[in-house]
Structure 1
């Protein structure tokens, strides 16, 4: 019998804030040191984990000129997850029921993640969107900006099922519930709803369970939240990209709160593992716990995540618990691994194949700011040519504490640790040629 597969991603959890996950070692997990994300932000990082490909090859990454964030990246995600074999398609073909529970909307059908059963934890306020709700929102949301026109159309088409779904959703997600959500001292981001959903799912069949936990992700406090929940965060991230540094007040904000939310994320993951241990046979499951990227909390004047290829964003925790009867030669060994290896690890367990790690390096990529051109121009008085200068194919090659960062478009080394041999640029050129 093939093993069940569980992949848990603690979104935005830095490796240096994840040490309490070592409690997993007490229950049979193996810790992989020096694990690196393929990208410093969510969507390309997840697509790399699911396909085993770097962003250059799967094509889901930042690009100059994107105007509609969801539509632009949605097309890229759907194209990649359709074109390339991935964890969902692979496990579906092997008869697995695929289940996704995500507090991050990037990991949803809109961006190509087509699980058999999918639950999006929507916040603020906290609400679980299931497949039928997402389909209704996707069906009507883009075409009917006016609530009155939407109502008329639903009644005219006698679409009472969607009418009920959308009405229930609109009643829940209103200004009053958002008001009470932001009155909370700690902004919870769905951990309890994830745990509740785990209790409701029937794990009778062979399954692949994916979970994204958003507790370590912004927002961190109502101190900086205005009408636009992420506006202050986006502005300060882009301010560091285009003007050199975030505001001092925002840096202080991150330093005050990030540790609290990182600990919440770790505790959430540990509780999820505990919940699962009561619902499934852990000895029959491959369980992987990691993060998609980290966060800047003031280093070099930077906050948020994306664009930069720094340790703070790329070093992530990685823990693996193998099925009890797995052969030792199927287990991941060594350091300096990329999260792209998650695809290969799962595939090797499913097909009972020996997985070989080639090389001692991990690669990470950035192509520019992930924000839309409209957003950037709304914040800064920059012309298109000035903005476009920030869009280059930047590659970092990491080996333990040594690294080299290279601008592929300009053929120049940006920075390198003292003892890292510059000749390794050729490794990058050969790999991406």
Structure 2
């Protein structure tokens, strides 16, 4: 029997922050859900940022197959067109064809009708999490001028635009007032999402997709100038800023756990909890300067690609634990197998991969002279392979091995040359005809 399906993406959530996986963020509602679910230990995201990961999640294809990803020549504005032209059937289209009522609610503008993610949805609602729309002309102008109010004011002062400074001050004051009312940035749309779902029709066979943005930056007391100074190599992030970001990241996860608890209660009140397949995962993680890098995309560190995967199967069915890795690209196949009465074998693989194709960094005003630095540091194509407890990340632009890990410990190629060769061979097969340089050892 085909189950009802609830697919939840906790945008930017790394696995190791959650209590469920031994981390510091208290998640009592997810721990309660785990009593009826399976928490997978080796889930990998196919990319380290939102757009290509979501395409992989919905198509079951890696980035080098669906091609909806950044390159040195193609950035954000091109990806919507690539997504629109993609011929592969999406999970939402497949389920819609089977008679499912397909409804999505996204708190991330990157996953919306504007970016062609509405294909196969009866309706895809966008709840803008930001107190002032990013389409607002004043917001656009502010971003061109700088990353902080001080930068903006100084630039306007140099230009002799005193009246403009007052206009920006009023705009910032209004933004602060609106933020306080909607509890931004702690809440980035989750409360409104839950209110919508509480009044939803749960009667017909349904597929519900939700993107929660809470653990994505910005955070409370977030110093964007410090972050951009760090990203552009001007000055490392201060210890205080790192500690604050980590503290707020944990607080966001704890808040999100409360919202997940509300959503589960809505399902139970509708009498749909037992029959529903609930999938909770993330599209990528978040680096908090562990490798001198803040935020996400570009790299394939574990903090960026090891994600949670919690699945409550219909009628709370459990399956025996198996060896191997899980990946978001396996989710469409898993849903198909479960719908046909199968087990969770489809979510496992002996080896799996993650990819990044360069920079998706849009520099704010005041940093335009850093474009060459960003290009030299971040415009690299990377692929990572995971197998037998090992991980290897290769920079195909520079033809170098960037990571060789056994578990979470870095080792030298000389320490296990045979395994290193095996992983490089896996990457050679995986890349296919792509112009990706793999080093010889």
Where on the TM-score scale, by shorter chain, does this alignment land: which range? 0.7 to 0.9
Q: Secondary structure at the match of 2:425?
A: helix
Residue of structure 1 aligned with 2:41, choices 4, 28, 33 = 33
Alignment match, 1:347: 336
Cα drift, residue 380 of structure 1: 4.7
Unaligned 5+ runs, structure 1: 128-136, 146-173, 225-230
Q: What is the rounded CA distance, in whole Å, between the counterparts of 2:380 and 2:237 in structure 1?
A: 21
- Aligned partner of 2:32 among 18, 23, 30: 23
1:365 has 2:355 as partner:
yes
Mapping 1:148-297, distance limit 5 Å? 178-183=175-180, 187-224=186-223, 232=225, 235-236=228-229, 238-239=231-232, 245-246=236-237, 248=239, 250-297=241-288
**Contact 2:9–2:212, Cα closer than 8 Å, also in 1:** yes
Q: 1:233 to 1:294 in 2, by over 3 A?
A: farther
| Alpha carbons 1:216, 1:264 under 8 Å: kept | no
Shift of 1:310: 0.9
Q: What is residue 108 of structure 2 aligned with on the other side?
A: 104
1:116 aligns with 2:114: no
Q: CA deviation at 1:393?
A: 2.1
Q: Does 1:310 align with 2:301?
A: yes
Report SS of the residue matched to 1:283: coil
User: C-alpha deviations, 1:292-341, integer Å up to 9, x for none?
Assistant: 1111123122221111111111111111111129796xx88444211211
SS state at 2:429 partner: helix
Q: Give the Cα–Cα distance (whole angstroms) in 2 for the partners of residues 377 and 260 of structure 1.
A: 30
| SS of aligned partner of 1:73 | helix
Q: Name the residue aligned to 2:84.
A: 78
CA distance in 1, matches of 2:113, 2:15: 28
CA distance in 2, matches of 1:76, 1:315: 26
CA drift at 1:400: 6.7
Distance 2:10 2:187 in 1: 14
1:392 and 2:380 aligned:
yes
Give the Cα–Cα distance (whole angstroms) in 2 for the partners of residues 245 and 427 of structure 1. Answer: 36
Number of matched pairs: 374
User: Which residue of structure 1 aligns with residue 7 of structure 2?
Assistant: 7
Separation (CA, whole Å) in 1 of partners of 2:62 and 2:383:
11
1:404 match: secondary structure: strand
Would you say the 8 A contact 2:334–2:346 is kept in 1?
no
Matched-pair contact (CA < 8 Å) for 1:103–1:122? yes
- 1:427 CA drift (Å): 0.5
CA distance in 1, matches of 2:371, 2:131: 37
